Amino acid sequence: MPMFSLGTWKAKAGLTGAAVELAIKTGYRNIDTANDYNNEAEIGVALKKVMDEKIVKRDELFIQSKLWNSNHRPEHVEADLDQTLKDLQLDYVDMYMIHWPQAAPATGKQASTRVDGAIADHHSKNPMFPLDDEGYYCADVESHYIETWQKMEELVDKGKVKSIGLSNFNKTQIEEVVAIAKKPVDLLQNESHVYLQQKDLIDQCNFRNIVFQSFSSLGSGDTNYASYASPTGTIPLRDAHINALAEKYGKGPGQIMLRWGIQRGISVVSKTTTPKRVVSNFDIWDWELSEEDMKSFDQLNCGWRHLLWGEVSHHPDYPFKDELPYGYVLEKCSNFAPGQGKTD
């Protein structure tokens, strides 16, 4: 598995395909996608183009996607994957993850994919982010990720996916899956950056022979979903220490953080559709941070998670209950296209 991936979460329509094409021409071989991002069809066009032009062969690419929360019921899992394969114009994906442990937003009544609406809307319309009559996310509380995982294993046997993994799971949930898994848990993708370094989780993954992969590797910039400001009073890209290192090495702050991730020995996902940054983010292989400077990142590990998504915390499998503020009261949906960026 190529350890550096182009992310497509919150990548805008009309820009995503060009970013994927440029990334592959630049040398990227891992592309991270998901049905709920509402851009897999555009990515599929770009993938077909670069393969038709013989820039890359299919077996040289590592395409990873994710099962959405509304499709955790075993009878709905394959429909989710089939839509992804159709959109990506592929016969298989190299990695397929359970996107979140909780079946919320979800009703459990029928499969819901991009073509049904990668938006939040009333459950009667069967969107991927179903809402109840009062505007709260629906939760399929009778669905549990163990049954979901077992269905995912069948997809490996069918050849539709090469490997399977998890995303946004906590340590206890990972152990529960590992205990029953007949196919290996090959990947864990969780938020991780200089303010949320996930050292214990990485140690757990190393012990279980699971590749740890960071998303929001730069802290998600100004498009972060944080409800609460970072304890540092800023975001990682503007952090004074990161910018001092950038000046020292003659690199951008993003390059410093991406290089730090790679030198930690983890897999790194970084999203951008800006052509200049698609290229510069990949310029991290012919230089390295000193041992002293790598150690200096320890001072930044303040535990700030931007993607808490408390609006789905009423599901029993929600993974970050211990990080919600004391007295947290469930909120109604406020972002009606969460996979595509902030909306008004």
Q: What residues are labeled active site?
A: 37
Distances (CA, A) of 42 to 147, 188, 318: 31, 26, 31
Q: Which amino acid is at 335?
A: N
Distance CA 20, CA 46 (A): 6
Calculate the CA 45 to chain-centre distance: 21
List, in sequence order, the alpha helices (H) in the chain: 16-26, 40-52, 74-88, 145-157, 171-180, 199-207, 240-249, 253-263, 275-281, 291-296
Contact between 217 and 297 (Cβ < 8 Å): no
Q: Which two tokens stand for residue 5?
A: 């991936």
The tally of CA atoms less than 13 A away on the side-chain side of residue 61 is: 27
Distance CA 31, CA 100 (A): 19
Distances (CA, A) of 263 to 40, 58, 300: 30, 28, 17
